[in-house]
Amino acid sequence: MFFKTNFVSLIVCAASMLLAQPLRAQSPSPQTWDLPHATAVKDLGPRTYHFDVTYYTANRTGEIVHRHQVTADYTRGLPNNEVQWKNVVDAQVDGATAPFPTTPKLDFMEGLRYRNDIGATMSPDFFKSFPPTAIMERNLVWDTGMFELFGQNYFDQLKLNEPLHIDKDQDVKLPDVGTFRNRDVVLEWVGRSQRNGQDCALIDYRAFFNPVTIAMGGMTMNARSDYWGEIWVSLATKQIEYATLYEEVNGEMKLPGQDTPQLVSVFRIGNFTPISAPLTASANSATNAKN
């Protein structure tokens, strides 16, 4: 009986090894772990993303005392390489669990349209139609430009699991707001994944110990920013299929009329999610033929 049991076990083991052979044969070869180089982003038509960012203000023990949420719809792939913002909503509430109040869309961002160029959004007059206090709405524009810059512009330089330092001690002037210094921005291609039916490169980004100063409306803040996140980028089109953003800002803030600054700690979480897909190449050709 002992021999028979072990004989059967050997047969089962051998069969398992044979069944496993096709799986090993289907594993990606080392050559497939390269990013496509010199490939432009394929915009086959307008594509809309929903961007939601929630700011959490906490006390020293981590209790959330205030939440501030900004949500918006962002569309790229428009004619002349333009992008557009719609349905931008800004809401605030005290505490950790209370629902956000219903608030109207922001008129100054409804239909905002411009050429997709992150450098242009740093010009002094770009936000001339924005109220001085609309910092979160400026962040929508800059964060989206960051996702596209980090996710789409460095395929030629990224290598699997090798950190790429793209900015060191770079000062960025934030128009009408203040200054920000990137100590060391690091990108790292950490693997392959799937999003929305697309094979994607998963790119990690991070930058820590970044000084930030803000001066507006009589309020001043001197703080430190640490931010990081992930970007899923389609290998076929270089379109962003999903992105996350995490940032913690700690520092001192002085409000108008205050003599002594107060400590401030804000943590924000953002999600950048496609809500409509561009036309496929075949559908796009058919549409053009009809027109």
Write the pLDDT tens digit of every residue in 1-24.
Answer: 433 434 334 333 333 433 344 444
3 Cβ neighbours under 8 A, 6+ residues apart: none
- Higher-confidence residue: 281 or 227? 227
Q: Are 83 and 92 in contact (CB under 8 A)?
A: no
Residues 40-79: tens digit of each pLDDT: 899 989 999 999 999 999 988 889 999 999 999 999 999 9
Residue with tokens 């090894």: 17
Q: Are 231 and 246 in contact (CB under 8 A)?
A: no
Residues 140-188: tens digit of each pLDDT: 999 999 999 999 999 999 999 999 999 888 888 887 788 999 999 999 9
For 204, list phi and psi in degrees, rounded to 5: -95, 140
CA 140 to chain centre: 10
For 66, list phi and psi in degrees, rounded to 5: -155, 145
pTM (2 decimals)?
0.83
What domains are there in the chain, each with its CATH number? Answer: 43-290 (2.30.230)
